[in-house]
Amino acid sequence: MNRVPISAASILPGSGACEDCLPLGLSAHLRTRLRLLAVHRIQVAHGETLLHAGAAFRHLYAVCKGSFKSVFLGEDGGQQIIAFHWPRQLLGLSGYAEKACLTDLIALEPTEAYEFSWHAIEALARESPEFLEHLLDSMSERLALAKRDQFMLGSMCSTQKIAYFLLQMAAHAPACGLAAGSFTLPMTREDIGSYLGLTMETVSRLLSQLSKAGVVLIDRKRVTLRKSDVLQAWLDGETKPFAWKSPIRV
């Protein structure tokens, strides 16, 4: 992992640095203020851990490019992926209450993030009502998404879980600079299974059957949704109206 200190001159507007990691929806003035708070640019290799569970809560991280997975470590030694993270997302807020990181944060690919001191972020939030509102919105949205995932994935069959996952990936594509409906899967089939509560074999079989049915086009790690309406109907439990080229078996 390579940590590069950031000088103020290197992140001035127009330099290109830090632009792709800042959250959307902030005013130009606030974006400049936030940009100047970055203390390190961190380059994380595939498989490296940016944060370990139990680490002291001192920093937040804005993903510039690449992606991470949050891995929860159970008391019995078991591991489960509870979230994936993409560019422009602010990471580390989940450790605020306990003052410690709750999960391992592992890079799924060569990834770059900017590091911010929590004390500096907190000071900006006290000074700027706009930024405080954005920070609270971000925390609330993250909590709501986690609750939604917990409910949805706990009540779905395996086919619905795959449909849900693919549609969620497609929704993140524009933020990663990709066309809607086309995205890259940086994670392994085993990672997907851990997140969805499925075996790797089930994930591989369902993706293969979806590809044969013409619902998705899979080229190595690149996925294109060809019939997102079919996935949505599948997610909603309305599969009868569709004639599959290849029967989907679970």
CA–CA distance from 208 to each of 146, 205, 216, 223 (Å)? 28, 5, 9, 12
Write down the pLDDT at residue 6.
80
Write down the pLDDT at residue 246.
47
- 61: burial class by Cβ within 10 Å (0-12, 13-18, 19+)? buried
- CATH number corresponding to 2-152: 2.60.120.10
Sign for the pseudo-dihedral over CA of 159, 233, 184, 71: negative
Write down the pLDDT at residue 76.
85
Confidence band of 20 (pLDDT split at 50, 70, 90): low
Write down the pLDDT at residue 12.
47
Domain 156-235 part of CATH 3.40.640.10: no
Dihedrals phi, psi of 128, to nearest 5 degrees: -120, 110
Is 156-235 the same fold as 2-152? Answer: no
Q: Which residues contact 172 (CB under 8 A, 6 or more apart)?
A: 86, 183
133-180: per-residue pLDDT in tens? 988 988 888 888 888 888 888 889 999 999 999 999 998 877 666 667
> Mean pLDDT over all residues of the chain?
86
196-208: per-residue pLDDT in tens? 999 999 999 999 9
Write down the pLDDT at residue 39.
92
The DSSP code for 80 is: E
Q: What are the strands, taking DSSP E only, across 6-125?
A: 38-44, 49-51, 59-65, 68-73, 79-85, 90-91, 104-107, 111-117
Please answer whether residues 64 and 112 qualify as being in contact, where contact means their C-beta atoms are separated by less than 8 angstroms. Answer: yes
- Range of weakest confidence among 21-25, 27-31, 183-187: 21-25
Write down the pLDDT at residue 15.
47
Write down the pLDDT at residue 17.
55
213-227: per-residue pLDDT in tens? 999 999 989 999 999
Top-confidence residue, 6 or 98: 98
Domain ranges in the chain are 2-152, 156-235
Share of residues in the chain with pLDDT > 70 (%): 88
Write down the pLDDT at residue 91.
93
- Range of weakest confidence among 103-112, 123-132, 174-183: 174-183
